[in-house]
A = this chain, B = another copy of it.
Amino acid sequence: MVLKRWLVGDPLKSTQAPHERLSKTLALAIFSSNAISSVAYATEEILLVLVLAGTAAIAWSIPISFAILFLVVVLTISYRQIIYEYPEGGGAYIVSRNNLGELPALIAAAALMIDYVLTVAVSVAAGIAALTSAVPSLFAHRETLGLAASVFIIVMNLRGVRESGKFFAVPTYFAIGALGVMVLVGSIQTLFGQGVSLSPDHQMAVEELTLFLILRSFAAGCSAVTGMEVISNGVKAFRRPESQNASTTMIHMSLVLAALFMGISFLAYHYGILPKTDETVVSQLARLTFGTGALYYALQVGTMLLLVLAANSAFAGFPHLASILARDGYMPRQMATFGDRLVFSNGIIILGIFACVLLLLFHGDTHALIPLYAVGVFISFTFAQAGMVRRWLIKKGPHWRKQLLVNGVGAVTTGIATIIIASTKFTHGAWIVFLLILVLVMMFRSIHSHYKAVSEQVALTRDHRPPLPRRNIVIVPINGVNQAVIRAVDYARSRAGEIRAVMVDVDPESTARIQIQWAQWGCGVNLIALPSPYRSVMGSLLDYIEEILEKEPDIWVTVVIPEILPAHWWQSILHNQRALLLKTALLFKERVILTDVPFHLKR
C-alpha cells in the first residue's frame, strides 16, 4: 500500500475532477505526441519499401510524401467537424454508434483498441531505435530497454492525467523544437548548397518498381497520420470552451506534423539517405546536418523521449474508449470504474500488458511491427467519416452541404487509403489485425448479450411480490471441540433459526469424546452425529443437507463453517481444505447460504 501510494500518489477527491482539465499547451503535449512522433519513422518506412526496387526508386518518396500530406489536410479539416459536433468526445466509436449502428461502431472500437496497443509498441520500439542509433552498444539490449520504458510509462500513467501532462510536456516540446531546428538548418544548408550530399552506394533492386510496391510504400508511410484522431476522443479533457480549444490544438498539431514530415522526407531524399538496420534515417540526417556533436545527441534524446512518451497518448485514449464501451455494456463493468487517481487504472494496466507482449513477440523491432500498424486507425477513420456523412444527410442543419462535402471527401479519401493499406499489408501481418477485430467484436457482443440476459433475469417486474419471510435452519459442521468451533457456534446462536451442530461419525471413539466435550462447551446447541458408510465426511454432510432441502422446500439452510484463518498466506495450504471442498460442493445449491466464521491465528 505504501509502495502504491509512493508510485501513484494520494487519492483525489471527486470534487477535484474539473481541475484536471488540460490547457491547450498541456493537451498538445499529451494528445499530439502520438501523431507528431511518427515523423521519426514514417519517412524511413517509405524508403524501406522503395529501396527494394533499387536506389533509383527512392525518388518516389517525394510524391508519396505529398499524398500523405494530402491525407493530413483532409483529416484535419474533417475531424474538426467531429470535434464541434461531438464535444463530449468519443471519436469513431461514438460517431459510428450514433449514425451507423452497433456493428460498425464495434468494428471501429475494436480497430481503435488494437491500434492503441500497436501505438504503444511501435512508439516504444522506435524510441529505443533512436537511442541505439546514437549509442550502438545498446542495440543488443533493445528488447529489455523497450520493456523498461513501457513499465515506466505505465507507472507514470497510473499517477494520473495532469501530472502526466506536466511530466511529458517538457520533453515533447523539446523534441519538437530539436526536430524543427534540424529541418530548418538542413533546409538552409540545402538552399545555400552547403549540405554534404552523400553519393549513396547503389543498391541492387530485388523487386521491380511496380504500382503495388509504390502503394505498399504509401501504406507504410501512412503510419505518419496515426494518432490524429486522439484529440477528437478526448475533447472533454480540454478547458472550456472545449471544442474551440480542441480544434485549435488539432490545427497546431497538424501544422507541426506536416512541417516536420515533409521536411524530413525532402532532406532525406536530397541527402540520398538509405535506411540502415542499426541507425534510423532521422539519426543519419541529424549527423549530416549537425555532425556527431552535442546538437546531434540532443536531437536523438529528444526524439527518443518524444517517441517513448508518444505511447502516453494511447494511455489516455485506450482506457477512455474502454470505459465508454464498459458503460455501454460491451466490456467488463470494472473497466468503467475510476481508479483512485481519477484515471481508468484497469484500462491502463491491460493496455500496458498487451503492448509489452507485442514488444516481446516482435523483439522490439519497429519494422516488424509496422505491417500491423495503421490498419485499425484507417478503418476507424473511415467509419467516423462515413458516420458524419450519414449524420449530415439526416440532420440537414445550416451549412449541411458544405459539411457533407468535407466529411464526404474525408470518407472517400480514408476509405481508399484503408483499401490500399489493407490490401498491400494483408499478407505481411495485417490479417492478424482483421482476425483480432473479429475476435474483439464477438467478445463485445457476447459480453453485451450476457449483461442483457443478467439484467432481464434480476429485473423486478409487476409479477414479483416482496418475498414472505422464510424459516432458517443453521448447520454448523464440526470435527472436534476447540475455540474455532465454539466461536462459530456462538456466532450461529446470534441468529434466528434452528441451530444444529453436525459431525460425521468416522471413528466411534472420537465421536464419544467429542460428545462429552460438547456437553460442556456446546452453548446448549444440539449435536447430531451422522453415520458415514463410505468414510466420506463430505458425502455424509452433503447427503444430510440435501435431505433437509428436500424435506422442507420452503426454508433457508445456512451452513456456518468454522474456519482457521492463518497469520501467513503460505499456511493456508495447511488448513481449511475440507471447508473449501464443502463450499465448492454447496455453491450451486439454491437456498443454501454459506457463512465462514474465521478464527484468526496470531502466529
Residues of A within 8 A of B (CB): 11-15, 332-334, 338, 340, 447, 450-451, 453-455, 457-460, 464, 466-467, 469-472, 481-484, 486-487, 490-491, 493-497, 517, 520-523, 532-536, 539, 556, 558, 564-565, 571, 573-575, 577-578, 587-588, 590, 593-603
Contact = CB atoms under 8 A, between A and B. Distances in A.
Contacts of A464: 483
Contacts of A497: 494-495
A283 B560 CA distance: 63
Q: Dominant SS at the A interface? A: mixed
Contacts of A457: 483, 601-603
A177 to B, nearest CB: 39
Given A454-B564, A533-B14, A536-B340, A593 B491 contact: yes
B484 A458 contact: yes
A469 B494 contact: yes
B332 A534 contact: no
A403 to B, nearest CB: 34
A454 B594 CA distance: 24
Contacts of A454: 564, 575, 601
Given A334-B578, A469-B490, 18 more contacts: A332-B577, A334-B577, A450-B574, A451-B574, A453-B603, A457-B603, A458-B482, A458-B564, A458-B599, A460-B483, A460-B486, A460-B517, A466-B486, A466-B521, A467-B523, A472-B491, A472-B495, A595-B595
Of A494, A596, A598, the most chain B CB neighbours within 10 A belong to: A494
A501 to B, nearest CB: 13
B495 A495 contact: yes
A470 B495 contact: no
A451 B482 CA distance: 14
A594 B596 contact: yes
A596 B595 CA distance: 7
Nearest to A599: B458
A135 to B, nearest CB: 39
29 contacts: A11-B539, A12-B534, A13-B534, A14-B535, A333-B577, A334-B578, A451-B574, A453-B603, A454-B564, A454-B601, A457-B601, A457-B602, A457-B603, A458-B482, A466-B520, A466-B522, A467-B487, A467-B490, A467-B523, A470-B490, A472-B491, A491-B556, A495-B497, A565-B588, A587-B598, A590-B600, A593-B595, A593-B596, A593-B598
